Amino acid sequence: MCETPPMTSRTITADAAGRWELAGLTVNRMGFGAMRLTGSAAFHLGTPSDRDRSLAVLREAVARGVDHIDTAAFYFSRLRSANELINRALAPYRDDLLIATKVGPYRDQRGEWGTAARPDELRGHVEENLRQLGRDHLDLVYLRRMRQDSIAEHFGALAALRDAGLIRHLGVSQIEPRHLAEAQAIAPVVAVQNRYGLDPAGSDQAASDADAILRLCGEQGIAFVPYYAVAGRHGERAVTGPDHDEVLAVARAHGATPAQVRIAWVLSRGPHVLAIPGTGNPDHLAENVAAGALRLTDDDLKRLDALRAGPAPVNPEG
């Protein structure tokens, strides 16, 4: 028997997922990621999105109670910029709407990826986000680590911009546990954004670090904001691959979609976990928001947790 109503309801709002304090605001744990707004291949140079539909998705997200939007100046396709879509759709911004952005990666005007920004270049990246969003400050800015061994110099540059009033709160992204401590020695960290979902990405060490960061954030009251929670290992290509039988079975039991199960599982990892599923499709938006009302049973969680853990190691002695 289903533990929750079928997830086809279009009346569920973002507050069904619960709330958490982030960057000075109490926001719904169901947020929205803006990367998919720009086209068929996310921020890669795929088919540009339909502008009117993207604007409608943003407005509908806010109408459904989404008050936390994640974006970046490097989210753009050949004709679309996520930040400028947000500005067009939602400005003037509501006081209770939190817009988080990130800096560190760099793309030129052709969309080609360059080297990571130097610390002295981060002010320009922050100012570009301000210009595109039409704001005089940024609520929350993540430093996205780009394989640097140390993030101290880059994070220190953002801390100086916070002191100057351009940024209100700071976060870090794509980090290992040691980087969180390194950043906290410089300035408060209110959120961590790392890749996290049912499909562990990368090496066993990367998966272990992701679990450790999740735990550390919970212990310290820091928001943990996972990305690619739905797309899993296919996230960079903006596609979703075939799903596990266990995910499909749990979805059928609840009258839900596999994507909703994945979102619900991520939210189950702790009250400090905030989901930011992204889409340019209004039907998918409704499904994503409704996932906040899906309550997985203990049995569901055991089945899904086993996927995260991966197959049991082989005993070499038989």
Instruction: Give the residue numbers annotated as catalytic, written as ranges.
Output: 75
Q: Is 88 in a helix, a strand, or coil?
A: helix
Helix-, strand-, coil-residue percentages of the chain, each rounded to 5 = 40, 15, 45
Residue 275's nearest CA partner among 288, 287, 285 is 288
Report the chain's terminal Cα–Cα distance, integer Å: 40
**Rounded Cα distance, 176 and 160, in Å:** 23
Which residues are CB-contacts of 114 (< 8 A; sequence separation ≥ 6)?
106, 107, 108
Residue with tokens 């110099």: 153
3-class secondary structure per residue, 112-154: CECCCCCHHHHHHHHHHHHHHHCCCCEEEEEEECCCCCCCHHH
**Euclidean distance between CA atoms 168 and 165, whole angstroms:** 7
> In this structure, what are the phi and psi dihedrals at residue 212, rounded to the nearest 5 degrees?
-65, -40
Write the burial class of residue 310 (CB in 10 Å: 0-12 exposed, 13-18 middle, 19+ buried).
exposed
User: Residue 70's closest CA among 28, 93, 102?
Assistant: 102
CA-only gyration radius of the chain, Å: 19
Q: Cα–Cα distance between 250 and 261 in angstroms, integer? A: 7
